[in-house]
């Protein structure tokens, strides 16, 4: 075991543990949007910035070492996290109170709460793309996509389907299937991992009514 300090409190840790996991196990709430334990550090959102020995670092990208002194509450760390999240929100419209994904498992909603964001500092920039609902199991809304890369990481390096990527060359970057095909006409095998790891409501499951539901008057069967 090694010992580190987090905001002045000592904690015994296993050498090599990822810092963000250690911080959360210690009960310290730290926002993170692109990080997912199954995917590892993607390092696109910068919402988990902390201070280590006076230097700002991403907590998702650092492994703990003995005698490490971590500060999550410094003015510099808080400012860095807020500025980073403001950039994220330029790609996402906050309408949490009516969002179907507001179920307690939305990383964007959680970060908004932890950072006490009441309104978007940078204006939301809509993308000139329609919602892609050509896959029978899920839909993709480019307007809500924060370009974190979670879905791409899951597709490319976990499922190794290599269907998804982000078109960074476009004036309006977005996630693409096979370089630009519709999701329902691509090489996607509908494993659903991309939807599972999406941190907001950019990728969501279609609602498919059951036969029992469809027999009831006023069921409203169909896709959400």
Per-block average pLDDT, block size 10, for the chain (224 residues)?
93 93 95 93 95 95 94 96 93 78 79 87 88 96 94 95 95 95 96 94 74 38 36
Same fold for the pair 2-114 and 138-214: no
**Helix, strand, coil percentages, rounded to 5, for the chain:** 25, 15, 55
Is 98 within 8 Å of 32 (Cβ atoms)? no
Is 100 within 8 Å of 203 (Cβ atoms)? no
Phi, psi of 211 (to 5 degrees): -60, -40
* pLDDT reported for residue 214: 35
* pLDDT reported for residue 68: 94
Give me the half-sphere count of Cα atoms (radius 13 Å) on the Cβ side of residue 98: 2
* pLDDT reported for residue 185: 96
- Residue 150 makes CB contacts below 8 A (sequence gap 6+) with 34, 36, 39, 42, 194, 197, 198, 199
Q: Where are the domains of the chain?
A: 2-114, 138-214
For residue 181, what are the β-bridge partners?
177
Is 101 within 8 Å of 93 (Cβ atoms)? no
CATH placement of domain 138-214: 3.30.70.20
Alpha carbon separation from 15 to 12, 22, 66 (Å, rounded): 9, 11, 7
CATH placement of domain 2-114: 3.10.20.740
Is 101 within 8 Å of 201 (Cβ atoms)? yes
Rg, Å, the chain Cα set? 20
Strands (E), the chain: 2-6, 9-13, 49-52, 55-58, 69-71, 138-140, 164-166, 175-177, 203-205
* pLDDT reported for residue 173: 94
């Amino acid at each position: 075991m090694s010992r580190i300090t987090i905001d002045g409190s000592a904690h015994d840790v296993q050498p090599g543990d990822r810092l963000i996991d250690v911080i959360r196990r210690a009960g310290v709430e730290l926002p993170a949007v692109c990080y997912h334990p199954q995917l590892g550090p993607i390092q696109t959102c910068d919402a988990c910035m902390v201070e280590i020995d006076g230097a700002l670092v991403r907590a998702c990208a650092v492994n703990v070492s003995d005698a490490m002194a971590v500060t999550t509450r410094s003015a510099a760390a808080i400012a860095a996290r807020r500025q980073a999240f403001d950039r994220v929100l330029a790609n996402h419209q906050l309408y949490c109170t009516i969002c179907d994904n507001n179920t307690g498992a939305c990383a964007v909603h959680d970060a908004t709460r932890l950072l006490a964001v009441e309104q978007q500092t940078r204006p939301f920039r809509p993308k000139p793309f329609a919602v892609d609902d050509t896959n029978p199991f899920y839909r993709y809304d480019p307007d809500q996509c924060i370009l974190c890369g979670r879905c791409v990481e899951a597709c490319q390096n976990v499922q190794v389907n290599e269907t998804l990527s982000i078109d960074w060359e476009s004036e309006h970057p977005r996630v693409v299937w096979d370089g630009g095909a519709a999701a329902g006409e691509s090489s996607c095998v509908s494993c659903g991992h991309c939807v599972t790891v999406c941190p907001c409501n950019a990728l969501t499951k279609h609602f498919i009514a059951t036969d029992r539901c469809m027999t009831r008057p006023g069921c409203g069967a169909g896709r959400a």
